[in-house]
Amino acid sequence: MSAVILDVHDGWAELVLNRPERKNAIEGTLAQAMHDALQQLERDDNVRAVVLRGQGGAFCSGLDVKAFGAEPAPDWKAGFPSLWEAVHLQLLASRKVLVVALERYAINGGAALALAGDLMVCGEGAFLQVGEIGIGMAAPRNAAWLALRHGEAVAARVCLLGERIGAADLLRLGIATEVAPDHAVVARAQAVARAVAAFPAHSVHAIKSGMRAATLQMPPAEWMAACARFDPLNQHGVIANVARNKA
């Protein structure tokens, strides 16, 4: 069973994190499946919008520290930092409108995926948490997306307190586009994607690309490299230490 499900419709698609038994936690197989799916989507000029959601009624619980701490080390572990950076670079450079359906929670690495969205439909009972500060880690991708889309004041509120931020505050901060009843989050995100899919493909791609270029004012790879320069995933033993601390 694939760790990511890609379902392409007429003009839009769904990208579903598919590890519900681990609360859609991030590890190597999910990263590779997401990388491959994003490549496929970018080649499809008919797709204007992509709904990103989690299977099983929750978005993403962050890194799968159990998988990272497994002995012997999984084959994908050594290459994970560069692969996950490539996934975020794909999201940064994408011409598609990314609509996030935030159900229940998006935590740490999962929060970074949620923050990558252009539009976010948030459940009334859902929350986002960037909690790396409490476990001795940096949060380079969360900081990168927040700085890009919301500014340093919002980034400070989200990253420096490590708190759960509920739907009302996410809407107030401009992170959520709208709040929907918990049972209706996915349906509403799909409706938003279908609305974007009704527009001409060339105008969607041109506006999204132009908007991103105006904000970045540099090639996407340079932006992501600058923000990830102190990524703790590149430091020996950090993931194992986090896994031990959570045990």
Q: Which residues are catalytic?
A: 132
- How far apart (Å, rounded) are the C-alpha atoms in residues 148 and 116? 9
SS3 124: coil
β-bridge mates for residue 129, sequence order: 107, 164
Strands 12-17, 4-8: pairing kind: antiparallel
β-bridge mates for residue 49, sequence order: 12, 97
Tell me if 98 sits within 8 A of 118, measured CB to CB: yes
| Widest distance between CA atoms in the chain | 51
- How far apart (Å, rounded) are the C-alpha atoms in residues 5 and 28? 15
β-bridge mates for residue 53, sequence order: 16
Encode 134-192 in three state secondary structure. HHCCCCHHHHHHHHHHCCHHHHHHHHCCCCEEEHHHHHHCCCCCEEECHHHHHHHHHHH
